[in-house]
């Protein structure tokens, strides 16, 4: 009888140990693992829903968690790109660029690298680059064009590395737009100096525009400003050289015929 009791106790103890081990195993199943594919995918779906509804701040927090847990995976890469977009849409341009720079550095062979470059260009792109009417009362020294240059650099890298990318045609259009806008801005600065009597600075800025942006429409006025500035400085040889280039490049120029409109400021849009 004592032997039978001992056997039952041993069996009960073994069952208890087995049950405890089973519970421990259940608590560590992939389903409850925060880094499991299923849980990460669930988090990603939540982030996508938040982005769709415009809750970018909440989406950013979720995507940051996914990026950290899914590093080195396809989902981690996708989370990075969405994180950059969410930051951009919430007005955090610097953070968006930082995320994209990190993606480009860590994933040089990614199939989404062309998209990352395109998005970086978009983040730095400013649709108002050419609309100076909005900054008519702003000191031009306060207007920074570095973002536009960074945008153009990203678009150029895209079209050079991925000429057949579906994003390249739009990137080329934006490159032309930025080029013309930056050239117009440089001429705007040259005019600013000329109107304040800083003729040497005006001539130098106009010349810089000619050297950097060789085919932009604004170069017609850049040449004209060089002619006027050199004339004011008494540099007749440079004046004549600039005028000759103006006549050769723009033979029908209103700056040569004197048919410039003077009814309102150059920048006024309304």
Residue 42 belongs to a domain: yes
Residue 51 belongs to a domain: yes
Check residue 125 and give left, alpha or beta (phi > 0: left; psi -120 to 50: alpha): beta
Total domain count, the chain: 1
CA distance 95 to 83: 9
Residue 45 belongs to a domain: yes
- Write down the pLDDT at residue 259: 59
What confidence tens digit (pLDDT) does each residue in 72-91 have?
Answer: 889 999 999 999 999 999 99
Best CA proximity match to 211, nearest among 196, 200, 226, 198? 226
CA distance 64 to 173: 33
The single-letter DSSP state of residue 263 is S
- Write down the pLDDT at residue 268: 37
- Write down the pLDDT at residue 39: 85
- Write down the pLDDT at residue 197: 96
Residue 83 belongs to a domain: yes
Residue 41 belongs to a domain: yes
Residue 141 belongs to a domain: no
- Write down the pLDDT at residue 142: 45
53 is in which domain, residue-wise?
Answer: 35-96
What's the alpha-carbon Rg for the chain, to the nearest Å?
Answer: 32
Best CA proximity match to 176, nearest among 217, 116, 124? 217
**Cβ(158)–Cβ(171) under 8 Å?**
yes
Q: Report the 10 Å Cβ neighbour count for 221.
A: 24
**Cβ(123)–Cβ(97) under 8 Å?**
yes
Q: Is the pTM of the predicted complex or chain greater than 0.75? A: no
What confidence tens digit (pLDDT) does each residue in 119-151 have?
Answer: 999 999 865 544 444 444 444 444 568 888 999
Residue 76 belongs to a domain: yes
Residue 65 belongs to a domain: yes
217: phi then psi, degrees, rounded to nearest 5:
-60, -30
Best CA proximity match to 155, nearest among 118, 105, 115, 130? 118
- What's the sign of the alpha-carbon dihedral 163, 165, 169, 175? negative
- Could you say which residues of the chain have pLDDT below 70? 1-35, 126-144, 258-270
């Amino acid at each position: 009888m004592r032997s039978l009791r001992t056997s039952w106790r041993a069996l009960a103890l073994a069952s208890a140990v087995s049950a405890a081990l089973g519970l421990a195993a259940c608590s560590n199943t992939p389903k409850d693992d925060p880094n499991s594919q299923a849980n990460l995918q669930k988090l990603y779906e939540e982030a996508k829903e938040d982005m769709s509804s415009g809750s970018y701040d909440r989406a950013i927090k979720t995507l940051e968690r996914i990026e950290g847990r899914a590093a080195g995976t396809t989902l981690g890469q996708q989370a990075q790109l969405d994180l950059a977009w969410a930051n951009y849409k919430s007005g955090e341009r610097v953070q968006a660029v930082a995320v994209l720079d990190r993606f480009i550095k860590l994933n040089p062979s990614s199939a989404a690298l062309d998209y990352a470059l395109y998005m970086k260009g978009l983040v730095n792109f400013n649709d108002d680059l050419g609309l100076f009417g909005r900054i008519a009362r702003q000191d031009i020294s306060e207007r920074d064009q570095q973002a536009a240059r960074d945008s153009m650099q990203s678009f150029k890298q895209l079209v050079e590395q991925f000429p057949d990318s579906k994003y390249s045609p739009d990137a080329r259009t934006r490159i032309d737009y930025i080029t013309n806008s930056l050239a117009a801005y440089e001429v705007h600065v040259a005019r600013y100096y000329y109107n304040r009597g800083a003729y040497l600075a005006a001539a130098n800025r106009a010349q810089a525009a000619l050297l950097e942006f060789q085919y932009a429409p604004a170069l017609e006025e850049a040449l004209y400003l060089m002619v006027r500035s050199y004339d004011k400085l008494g540099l007749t040889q440079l004046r004549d050289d600039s005028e000759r280039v103006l006549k050769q490049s723009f033979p029908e120029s209103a700056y040569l015929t004197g048919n410039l409109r003077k009814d309102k400021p150059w920048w006024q849009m309304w």
